[in-house]
């Protein structure tokens, strides 16, 4: 993929939450801040509650001794 984004920094990426440009090796990467990181974690928690995947049950069954 070739996007015309800012390539000044070699490891820049967009925060998945607020789409702000942030260094990929930052302290909160891939997020721009601890706030966005927390928001993302919250989203994941909500998503996993909404979307119940049968894969998990299958994995558990096969993993049980
Ligand atoms: Zn952000």
Report residue 24: phi and psi, to 5°. Answer: -70, -15
How far is the centre of ligand 1, averaged over its atoms, from the C-alpha of 62 (Å)? 38
CA distance 23 to 9: 8
Q: Delineate the domains of the chain, giving CATH numbers in brackets.
A: 12-63 (3.30.50)
Global pTM exceeds 0.75: no
Residue 2: phi and psi, rounded to 5, are -120, 110
Q: How far is the CA of 15 from the centre of ligand 1 (A)?
A: 5
Q: What is the pLDDT of residues 2-55, one digit of tens each?
A: 555 555 557 899 999 999 999 999 999 999 999 999 999 898 888 776 656 665
Q: What is the C-alpha to C-alpha distance for residues 40 and 42, in angstroms, rounded to an integer?
A: 5
> Going by DSSP bridges, is the β-strand pair 21-23/12-14 parallel, antiparallel, or unpaired?
antiparallel
């Amino acid at each position: 993929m070739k996007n015309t984004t800012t390539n000044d920094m070699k490891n820049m990426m967009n925060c998945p939450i607020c789409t702000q440009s942030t260094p990929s090796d930052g302290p909160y990467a891939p997020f721009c801040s601890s706030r966005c990181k927390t928001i993302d974690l919250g989203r994941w928690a909500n998503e996993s509650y909404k979307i119940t995947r049968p894969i998990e049950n299958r994995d558990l069954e096969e993993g049980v001794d």
